[in-house]
Amino acid sequence: MSIPPPDSSDLHFPTKYSQPFIMQCLACLWKQRLSYWRNPAYTAVRFFFALIIAVVFGTVFLDMGKKTGKQHDLINAMGSMYASFLFLGVANSASVQPVVSVECTVFYREEAAQMYSALPYAFEQVAIEFPYVFVQASVYGILVYAMIGFEWTAAKFFWYLFFMYFTLLYFTFYGMMAVGLTPNYKSESTE
């Protein structure tokens, strides 16, 4: 039984995985969507934190955007934007790390079973953050922009949201990268 018949050929599979790359991506996106949906604490805390920080920063820098008479006032307005972007960005970076750490353990198990490769998993772990960060940046940006009192023109407002969105994405992806580059979640601590 261990000797193959003379006219037979070896088994050959075109890929290591049972599905093509696009199907792996769709399966990973579906899995990530369910994972985030089943983790309302992460999403709710992130949105609640954005709302509270927006109110705090909006109150601290209330109507600072209307004061443009002196150079010092402009520097304060730019500093308020910098502080609001940086503070919420670092919070996003820290809050995504435990979630990605848990997802990594699931990934190792599923990748060992050859369910999908690392590339579709990474793409979809990044892709699932786009809508969540967009809603977070929009809520935060609208509140802070209105409370600080920046000029209400469409171009300036959308530039503000654009930078807010991509800053939050940057910090969120930075937190993901920190988990991916370290051997375990405990060694990512920034004490």
pLDDT digits (tens, 9 = 90+) for 18-27: 788 899 899 9
Say if CB 150 and CB 65 are below 8 A apart. yes
Two tokens, residue 138: 């929009």
Instruction: Using alpha carbons, select from 87, 91, 178, 92 the residue that is nearest to residue 129.
Output: 92
Q: Where does the pLDDT of residue 132 fall: very low under 50, low under 70, confident under 90, or very high at 90 and above?
A: very high
End-to-end C-alpha distance for the chain, whole angstroms: 62
In the chain, the percentage of residues whose pLDDT exceeds 90 is 45
Say if CB 68 and CB 77 are below 8 A apart. yes
Query: What span, in angstroms and rounded, lies between the C-alpha atoms of 85 and 81?
Result: 6
Q: Where does the pLDDT of residue 190 fall: very low under 50, low under 70, confident under 90, or very high at 90 and above?
A: low
Give pTM, 2 decimals.
Answer: 0.81
Question: In terms of pLDDT, which residue wins out, 186 or 41?
Answer: 41
